[in-house]
Amino acid sequence: MEAVIIVPVFIISVLMMITIIPVMADCENVIFSVCDELRAESVKSAFRQNPAALPVSLKLRIKEENSRMSSFHMRFYRYLYTDGELDGLLQADVRAVFSEKNPIGILSSVTFDGCVRARAFTGKLHKTPPGSSGDDEEDDRIVYIFPEWGTKYHDRQCSYVKASCQMVYLSQTVKGSYTPCKLCDASSARIGTPVFCFQESGRAYHVADCRVVERYYVEIQKGKAEEQGYSPCSKCGGGGHG
């Protein structure tokens, strides 16, 4: 007598389980695709900004990968927005509906809502953990150091800096703004080699063995300079006036 009641209940439960498990796997698959597409967009947005790309590619991908899903749509989407101190955020809220007939003919419908937020690649260095009020911007500021001479960092306007030349790596930009020095045959220097320019006075770039190259400086982030043991110049203060 007991078996008459318990066995059907047991069988129905098992059948329900059999229908639910693939749906759960599908939900997991949907959220994985959302994360994966957001990750890709977080990288791509650094090179081109296209708010329409993610919703389109995501919809195509999810429809293609989840044949049992009956509908999918983006409930909410924000592209490169700012929330508090964090910029470059992406948010995608999605809804997927699965309607499935289980073996005993009961139509079960499962609605899955997912919300994923990601941060796009910003190209900035953040050494302090998120949330803490670090002085990132201050650390990112460009200062000038003389790699072979002394342990001070300087402001661009410092007279030490003005009297010296800057070492940069030869690029098309450098070639566009400066002409090669004839004395040191700088025109034979190849892209990527260190060359030396006087920002204030010179119109030429030089190679290392040119007689005009004496003390040279390089650009560096203030935070990095301090990490390497440089301290502010006593004359210019290291450019600490903002």
CA dihedral 21, 26, 30, 31 (to 10 degrees): 20
Closer residue to Zn ion (CB): 79 or 146: 146
The least distance separating Zn ion from the CB of residue 206, rounded to whole angstroms, comes to 3
Q: Would you tell me how many other CB atoms lie within 10 Å of the CB of residue 51?
A: 13
Structural tokens at position 116:
């994923």
CA dihedral 96, 99, 102, 108 (to 10 degrees): 90
In which element (H, E) is residue 197 found?
strand 194-197
Closer residue to Zn ion (CB): 170 or 210: 210
Structural tokens at position 195:
């060359």
> Which residues have a Cβ under 8 Å from the Cβ of 189 and sit 6 or more positions away?
170, 180, 195, 205, 207
By the rule CB under 5 A, 236 interacts with Zn ion: yes
Residue ranges in 140-169 that form contacts with Zn ion under rule CB under 5 A:
154, 158, 160
Closer residue to Zn ion (CB): 64 or 148: 148
The least distance separating Zn ion from the CB of residue 128, rounded to whole angstroms, comes to 27
The least distance separating Zn ion from the CB of residue 46, rounded to whole angstroms, comes to 34
Residue ranges in 165-194 that form contacts with Zn ion under rule CB under 5 A:
181, 183-184
Closer residue to Zn ion (CB): 154 or 222: 154
Residue ranges in 8-47 that form contacts with Zn ion under rule CB under 5 A:
none
Phi-psi region of 88 (alpha: psi -120 to 50; beta: other; left: phi over 0): left
> H helices of 47-197, where?
53-65, 136-140, 159-162, 172-177
By the rule CB under 5 A, 206 interacts with Zn ion: yes
Contact of 189 with 214, CB cutoff 8 Å: no
Q: What are phi and psi of 43, to 5 degrees?
A: -80, -45
The least distance separating Zn ion from the CB of residue 135, rounded to whole angstroms, comes to 21
| Rounded distance between C-alpha atoms, residue 197 and residue 187, angstroms | 14
The least distance separating Zn ion from the CB of residue 176, rounded to whole angstroms, comes to 18
Region from 33-41, 47-55, 130-138, 210-218 binding Zn ion, contact rule CB under 5 A: 210-218
The least distance separating Zn ion from the CB of residue 161, rounded to whole angstroms, comes to 6
The least distance separating Zn ion from the CB of residue 146, rounded to whole angstroms, comes to 10
Region from 99-107, 187-195, 220-228, 234-242 binding Zn ion, contact rule CB under 5 A: 234-242
| Rounded distance between C-alpha atoms, residue 151 and residue 190, angstroms | 30
Closer residue to Zn ion (CB): 45 or 154: 154
Interface ranges with Zn ion (CB under 5 A): 154, 158, 160, 181, 183-184, 206, 210, 233, 235-236
